[in-house]
A and B are shown apart, each in its own frame.
Chain A
Amino acid sequence: MEQVILYSGIALALIMALSLYRTLVGPTILDRLIGVNAIGSETTVLLIIIGVLYKKVDMFIDIALAYALLNFIAVLASARYFHKRKGLSDESNDY
């Protein structure tokens, strides 16, 4: 059973590399926010998979819960920070 979970963890890590592309390339800052948000929610699952593999599930569940909280706060704070920026619209029309 551990092999199934190990391979799904590896596949999840590769999928995170996919959403890293949008974080690096994204024309506007808010696109990068989407990439970070996606990576954050994937890391929550990855943390619990690691917890299962290392037989310390109860510790890693708390870490994953804290990570989900932080991911939410980070997205809210950065969305609120880019509230006033007027430079977003000309950046995004270059594709």
Chain B
Amino acid sequence: MEIDIMTIIVGGLLAIGLFFFLAGAIGIIRFPDFYSRLHPAGMIDSMGLLLSMSGLALFTLFDGGLCLASVLNSLKIALIVVFVYITSPTATHAIIDAGMRAGLKPWTKKRNPQSK
């Protein structure tokens, strides 16, 4: 594959986005409690999505020339990112609301001494 400037930029963006996806997925597994697991889940929704989507938007913009169709496609990808940025906090809030009302108490060092 020819290494031109676009490959480097899009490949770099995708790599960093994948790093955030990986970090979020590992965080979701390792964190001790439901409430603390929401933080890496939020990280996946925000940073991972933003970086990989912007990489893909750049790729669709410059792949096969800069015509109106590719501009519209990358604008739609940006629209997806904006939409997820608006709805992800709302979904997280709804989950936490359901958890608090169902009586799920947050994990604390005092309340869970035996776990590390």
In the bound complex, residues from chain B placing their C-beta under 8 Å from that of A4 are 1, 7, 10-11, 14
> Contact: A88 with B102, CB < 8 Å?
yes
> Contact: A5 with B59, CB < 8 Å?
yes
Size bin of chain B's contact surface:
35 or more
> Contact: B91 with A37, CB < 8 Å?
yes
* Chain A residues numbered 28-69 whose CB sits less than 8 Å from any CB in chain B: 28, 30-31, 33-35, 37-38, 41-42, 44-45, 48-49, 52, 57-58, 61-62, 64-65, 68-69
> Contact: A38 with B25, CB < 8 Å?
yes
> Contact: A15 with B73, CB < 8 Å?
no
> Contact: A45 with B53, CB < 8 Å?
yes
* Chain B residues numbered 29-62 whose CB sits less than 8 Å from any CB in chain A: 29, 32-34, 37-38, 41, 44-45, 48-49, 52-53, 56, 59-60
- Scan A62-95; emit 1 where CB is below 8 A from any B CB, else 0: 1011001100100110011011111111001101
Number of A-B contacts (CB under 8 A): 166
A28 touches which one: B84, B87, B91, B104 (CB < 8 A)? B104
Nearest CB in chain B: distance from A46 CB, A: 10
Interface residues of B (CB under 8 A from A): 1, 6-7, 10-11, 14-15, 17-18, 21-22, 24-26, 28-29, 32-34, 37-38, 41, 44-45, 48-49, 52-53, 56, 59-60, 63, 69, 72-73, 76-77, 79-80, 83-84, 87-88, 90-91, 94-95, 97-99, 101-105, 112, 115
